[in-house]
Amino acid sequence: MTKATLWMADADALGEADLQRLRGWLTAGEMARHQRFVRAQRQRQFVAGRVLLRMALG
């Protein structure tokens, strides 16, 4: 039987302290990409997504 795991996070629930800590997980290239997002909501979503991906593959 195939097993699937689903990871979800509410990026809008992240506070500034959380985001600051999670940004530390990003590479220089990811930080550059993160800074190109204009909307703060998209920046939060990008950080949450990259960190979740890194944790899942870790």
Q: What is the DSSP letter of 13?
A: G
How many Cα atoms occupy the beta-carbon half-sphere of 34 within 13 Å?
21
Overall pTM surpassing 0.75 (yes/no): yes
As given in the structure block, the two tokens for residue 2 are 């195939």
d(CA 23, CA 30): 9
d(CA 49, CA 41): 12
Range of the domain at 23: 16-57
Note whether residue 11 is domain-resident: no
d(CA 5, CA 42): 24
Note whether residue 48 is domain-resident: yes
Q: pLDDT (tens digit, 9 = 90+) per residue, 1-49? A: 899 888 888 999 999 999 999 999 999 999 999 999 999 999 999 999 9
Note whether residue 46 is domain-resident: yes
Q: How many domains would you assign to the chain? A: 1
Note whether residue 41 is domain-resident: yes
